[in-house]
Structure 1
Amino acid sequence: MNVKRVLAPAIALVTVVSLAACSNDEEPGHDMASMSSTTEAGEQESPAEGDWFNQQDVMFAQMMVPHHEQAIEMSDVIVAKEGVDPQIIDLANQIKDAQGPEIEQLTTWLEEWGSPVSESDSTETMDHGSMDGMMSEEDMQALQDAQGAEAGRLFLEQMIVHHQGAIEMAQTEVDDGKNEDAVAMAQQIVDTQQAEISTMEELLAAM
């Protein structure tokens, strides 16, 4: 018997099996690398969105923080004046008590979402003016300069417009937001500030 003739096919078979095994070992690694790259790319596509929030939630929080801050500033101005109707003073304090904690919560959400509020966010919102009810520098100065009953009347007129802008922004969040807590806050803003508008309109009518 020729030993070489018997061994040659066997060696060839072993070689083929070995090459196939090496090829199979390499492919899963290649596939995993591809999957990892694809996953990373997908994660980077929407840095301002997650499973529990979307871009609308971020925009709502970024715009509502400076909006609330201005409402509190307006309230501080009127509370510090003399000769203003006590009911208006009570309303101003009510606005401060409601919106202060909301600012803290909105800020916390933005930090959790990786979208902190910056000065540019506030400035951009201020520049929109009538779009969201924000008072201009001239409006704020007029409130500062007014005294007594005139200050109370101006505060009510300005805050009604301010609240209407907040309600519009909040309703957009209710309609398009994804985060359940943010949507719930937005609905609360709609309900609370609409009720406050009714109160302010009654106070204006009685002046």
Structure 2
Amino acid sequence: MRNTRTLTRRAVLVAASVTAALALAACGNDSGNSGSGHAGGHSSASSSASADATAGAPNAQDVSFAQGMIPHHQQALEMAELAADRASSAEVKDLASRIEKAQDPEIKTMSGWLTSWGEDVPTSSDSTAESMPGMDHSDGSAMPGMMDGSDMDELEKASGTDFDTMFLTMMIEHHEGAVDMATTEKTKGKYGPATSLADDIITAQTAEISEMNKLLGKS
């Protein structure tokens, strides 16, 4: 009789141990899944926060860069559009086309930034130096590389090889101004996408300056 009770008690203890072990295992799995899910959510949130921190809040220089570079690009587009039916060189026409394809999307990007920041977005009517007195810089000068109204009128009246020479000469000066502006943004800007765009502008337009100098017969 005693042996029977002992066996029964052992069987109950074993069953209880198995049940407890299973419960602990299940709890561990749930905890693991929950922890994994929480870790994943935390990681995602951290990534998002990290991206925001990397972008940085825009400062006055970022706003100035976008508000200055938009009309600067718009004037470059006006110049490039003239090349389609005035340039005689296929190389000049190709360069003008590439300038349009590169700078038009950049205008849209910078306009989007300014809108999201609650800042004024320059219009195409602002694309001459005369319409933007003291627009940018700490020394009070006009934006570097911008053509005035008479420069644009002269370019518009030119054609053939005269246009090619005038376009390349003016666009080199225009690009050099954009590189100066972008360099200032890289140094003083805080908004990551803006400083990244500035770096792209420096790289692309420096290469185009070299290309245009070669087309003018300069090394």
Q: CA deviation at 1:116?
A: 2.1
Distance 2:211 2:203 in 1: 13
For residues 190 and 76 of structure 1, do their structure 2 counterparts lie closer, same or farther at Cα, with a shift above 3 Å needed? same
Partner of 1:192: 204
SS state at 2:172 partner: helix
> Which one-letter code corresponds to 2:132 in the other structure?
E
Give the aligned length. Answer: 156
Distance 1:136 1:51 in 2: 35
CA RMSD of aligned residues (A): 2.3
Q: How does 1:103-182 map to 2 (within 5 A)?
A: 103-118=107-122, 123-124=131-132, 131-182=143-194
Distance 1:184 1:192 in 2: 12
Q: CA deviation at 1:80?
A: 2.1
Of 190-199 and 73-82, the range deviating more from structure 2: 73-82
For structure 2, the 5+ residue unaligned runs are: 1-54
Q: Is the 8 A contact 1:56 1:173 kept in 2?
A: yes
Question: What TM-score comes out, normalization by structure 1 length?
Answer: 0.70
For structure 1, the 5+ residue unaligned runs are: 1-49
Q: Is the 8 A contact 1:126 1:134 kept in 2?
A: no
Q: Is the 8 A contact 1:72 1:95 kept in 2?
A: yes
Distance 1:126 1:143 in 2: 24
- What is the CA deviation profile of residues 54-109 of structure 1, one whole-angstrom value per residue up to 9, with x for unaligned ones? 01000000000000000000000111225x10000000000000000000000000
Q: How does 1:1-207 map to 2 (within 5 A)?
A: 52-81=57-86, 84-118=88-122, 123-124=131-132, 131-205=143-217
Distance 1:51 1:110 in 2: 15
Question: What TM-score comes out, normalization by structure 2 length?
Answer: 0.66
SS state at 1:80 partner: helix
> Which one-letter code corresponds to 1:73 in the other structure?
E
Distance 1:181 1:158 in 2: 28
> Which one-letter code corresponds to 1:99 in the other structure?
Q
Q: Is the 8 A contact 1:129 1:135 kept in 2?
A: no
Distance 1:166 1:200 in 2: 15
Instruction: Give the fraction of aligned pairs with identical amino acids, expressed as a percent.
Output: 42
SS state at 2:92 partner: helix
